[in-house]
Amino acid sequence: MAKKVLVVGGGPAGLAAARALGRLGVPTLLIEKEEKLGGRPILENYYTLIPRKLKPSQVLGPYIKEVEENPNIEVKLKTELEACEGEPGNFKVRLSNGETHEVASIIVATGFQHFDPRRKGELGYGIYPDVITNLELEQMFSKEGRLYRPSNGQLPKRVAFVFCVGSRDRQLGVTNVHCCRYGCALSGLQGSEIREHYPDVDVFCYYMDVRTYGTWEYPFYWAPQEKYGVRYVRGRIAEITYSPADGRLRVKHEDTIVQRPAEVPMDLVVLVLGMEPSEGTKKVAKILGLAQDPDSQFLIPSEESGSNIVSNKPGIFIAGACKGPIDIESSLSEGEAAAAEAAAFIGAKVSV
């Protein structure tokens, strides 16, 4: 069976797709831009994944191992898709390392990138060392295993989470009006982790809405409040300033329940970053002619299909965060679903 499937992207969705195809006995080519498989969770050292509170190595480790070992799967790191021609079932793709391959089907799993908070200048990221991103907080936990203020290395007395930085914000243009979907839940988890290990640290979440949808409501919204005493204040942080007198930050906002402006001292401020389509997603969309959301530039599934993974081009399937914010477990499931669709599309004779 010479028909091959190309998987673009080695993150959770791409790994899941490649692993499933390998298991079905379909020859698979997995290309990844970075020098390591695993995507954002591995490359950026996430500490705990929502919603199951597992470590990235626990979740993605077995996937990476199997993908690397399965003889049906060929992995090419530091490789990007450069061009594609041909018709469904017979694509000719050219890679950045000069190789050309004939593939019958393509799975796009090019993922997302984190919002750059420097674009919200009023929040002081990059100016005040104690304003960090939730990604940096994850790395603080995973690499150094302790909580501290970057300015002086000491334990903060108060930590503030600023929700929706780079999400639901028309001021950034039409590209960032969507909800990042994971931020509320991750902040609830990080707040709980802080309170669990440092019970004397007070944690505040500044929110507009708390969108811990579905079964996430209890573990990531109720439990942080009820079990760990995380405080939620309704009001978007409009500005972060620094007071040289006491060396603490001030978060400016209106407490919309009290209906009064507030400038409350904080020691560490964590910006909860939004998600944007990665550069790779935008590039691949152009090469393959995939439909994109005119505002956010995320890929959008076929209008005729009710399924989330069927693209507007026959033979090309889209999985994971290239279509918009998504959590890891759904990303893995989508990768696996896309693998099944691709295998069916190429008419693979599956032996189990």
Partner 1 sequence: MAIHERSLVEPERILRKERLVIDGIDVSGDWNLIILPRVINDYDLDFAKEIVNSPDGKTINQCYQCSYCTASCPVHNYWDERYNPRHFIHLARLGLIDELQKRADVMWRCVSCHKCTHRCPKGVLVEEVLKVILRTMAKRGLIEEYPSKKFDKFFTEQVLEYGRIEDGELLFGWIEKQGYKVVKDPILRKPIPFIGETPEWLKQLTMKPIKSMNIGFLILNAKHMLFHPRTKNWNKFKHVLRKVMEEEGALAH
Binding site for partner 1 (CB under 8 A): 202, 221-222, 225-226, 229, 231-234, 255, 257-258, 260-265
**Rounded-to-integer distance, Cα 342 and Cα 21, Å:** 8
- To the nearest 10 degrees (0 to 180), the angle between helices 328-345 and 12-24 is 40
74 or 255: CB nearest partner 1? 255
Q: Which is nearer to partner 1, 255 or 293 (CB)?
A: 255
Q: Which is nearer to partner 1, 222 or 347 (CB)?
A: 222
The DSSP annotation for 195-261 comes to: HHH-TTSEEEEEES-----GGGHIIIIIHHHHTT--EEEES---EEEEETTTTEEEEEEEETTTTEE
Q: In this structure, what DSSP letter does residue 328 have?
A: H
**Shortest Cβ distance from residue 204 to partner 1 (Å)?**
8
Q: Which residue, 229 or 347, is less far from partner 1 as judged by CB?
A: 229
Among the listed residues 140, 124, 121, 117, the one whose alpha carbon sits nearest the alpha carbon of residue 243: 124
For partner 1, the closer of residues 63 and 221 by Cβ is: 221
Tokens, residue 125: 């990221």
Question: What are the C-alpha distances in Å from 60 to residues 5, 134, 153, 222?
Answer: 21, 21, 32, 28
Distance of closest approach, residue 196 Cβ to partner 1, in angstroms: 15
Shortest spacing between CB 205 and partner 1, in angstroms: 12
Query: How buried is 89 (Cβ within 10 angstroms: 0-12 exposed, 13-18 middle, 19+ buried)?
Result: middle
For partner 1, which is the closer residue by CB, 255 or 329? 255
CA distance 110 to 32: 9
Nearest approach in angstroms of CB 269 to partner 1 is 15
On whether the CB atoms of residues 184 and 151 are closer than 8 A, the answer is no
Among residues 55 and 231, whose Cβ is nearest to partner 1?
Answer: 231
Q: How far is the CB of 262 from partner 1 (least distance, A)?
A: 4
CB-CB contact of 31 with 349 (8 Å):
no
Smaller CB distance to partner 1: residue 114 or 253? 253
CB of 214 to partner 1, least distance (A): 17
- Kindly state the tokens that stand for 100: 């050309």
Cross-sheet strand order for the sheet of 202-207: 131-133, 268-273, 158-165, 202-207, 231-234
Instruction: Give the nearest distance from C-beta 258 to partner 1 in angstroms.
Output: 6
Indicate the DSSP class of residue 315. Answer: T
If you write DSSP's letter for every residue of 109-134 in order, what string do you get? ---EEE--GGGSGGG-BTTBTTEEEH
- Give me the least distance between CB of 164 and partner 1, in Å please: 18
